Amino acid sequence: MKLGFGLIGAGNLGLSIASALQKSLGRITGLYDPDEVNQKKAVMVLECPVLSIEDLAKSSDVLLFAVPDEEISRVFKHIHPRLSETSLLVHFSGVLSSEVFGNAPIRISAHPTRAFPQSTTDANAFKNVLFALEGTECAVDIFQPVLEEIGANCFTISADAKPLYHTVCVMASNLVVGLLEATTKLSTKTGVDKGIMRQCILELSSGAITDARAAETLAKALSGPVVRGDRTTVALHLKVLERFPAQRKLYRMLSQWVLELAKERGLERAKAQEIEKTLLG
């Protein structure tokens, strides 16, 4: 028997995962989203009815809570009286655990380690995407095969570990974009065409990610003046950045982490000490 999925929240992630599930193994019994733009787009893509959340709760085997974190508990409490003991409750928050669903027997949090700044109807959108699963054993037993059916890979995590796990995820994604923005702002002072500098920045950053993915360790993926022990270049960078205190602070902090990798890579002790002194000076 195919599961009936009810979608609460048809934003970027909600619409993307509902579309993938619909194409692979299930049917969308209906959707609810108070945002008319999201609602109309989702109806066109999923070709399913718009229902009240009360009716959605009664007619769905699986309820997908694809709403902002602060809304999950409120929506759950509102529809709780209409839920069946066999209802599978799913949310996609990285930081919240499944305990936001109280003592519901079949509850799970399933966080994808991929950002969805836009919605997608690509059936392969979740291929090889890692999902962190946390919830009751029966919920994991049911929902993990569902995710694997759309090409995802899954691992389990404890409820207590989720806040730290999500912090790591944010640092590895959102804060990387922040680093790119800080670098882009700095590049406008070079006098070089903005488009060309943007291309340089993105090619360098994507190259670094590619190298890190291919290398056995991050240390082996490292390049640049620190790993070469080039104290003179590091000192020149810091001198130039005196006019840009925020970026200078960022450069020094990140270079200290890079220096640890350079040591792991085999940077001579004397050169490492010179660079450390330059960064802290």
Per residue in 82-111, pLDDT (tens digit) is: 898 899 999 999 999 999 999 999 999 999
- Measure the CA–CA gap between 128 and 124, rounded to whole angstroms: 9
List Cα–Cα distances, 9 to 66, 98, 170, in angstroms: 5, 17, 22
| CA end-to-end span of the chain | 67
Q: What is the pLDDT of residues 65-76, one digit of tens each?
A: 999 999 999 999
Phi/psi of residue 83, nearest 5 degrees: -85, 145
pLDDT at 161 over 90: yes
Our measurement of the distance from residue 89's CA atom to the centroid of its chain's CA atoms, rounded to an integer in Å, reads 21
Joined tokens for residue 172: 């590895």
Classify strands 27-32 and 62-65 as parallel, antiparallel or unpaired.
unpaired
CA gap 96, 99 in Å, rounded: 8
User: What is the C-alpha to C-alpha distance for residues 62 and 1, in angstroms, rounded to an integer?
Assistant: 13
How does DSSP classify residue 50?
B
Split at pLDDT 50, 70, 90, the class of 262 is: very high
Enumerate domains of the chain plus CATH numbers.
Answer: 4-160 (3.40.50.720), 173-214 (no CATH), 217-281 (no CATH)
Residue 133's pLDDT is what? 98
pLDDT per residue as tens digits for the range 192-202: 999 999 999 99
pTM of the full structure:
0.89
What residues have CB less than 8 Å from 174, skipping those under 6 apart? 115
Is pLDDT of 234 > 60? yes
DSSP conformation class of 100: G
Provide the 8-state DSSP code for 102.
T
Give the C-alpha separation, 206 to 201, whole Å: 9
Could you give the count of Cα atoms lying within 13 Å of 11 in the half-sphere of its Cβ?
12
H helices of the chain, in order, are 12-24, 36-46, 53-59, 69-79, 137-149, 162-172, 174-187, 194-214, 218-221, 225-228, 231-240, 245-265, 269-280
Which contiguous run of DSSP H or E holds residue 110?
Answer: strand 107-112
Residues 6+ apart with CB under 8 A from 120: 16, 19
Confidence (pLDDT) at 1: 56
Contact, 122 vs 84, CB < 8 A?
no
* 81 phi-psi bin (left φ>0, alpha ψ -120 to 50, beta other): alpha
Q: How many CB atoms lie within 10 A of CB 78?
A: 12
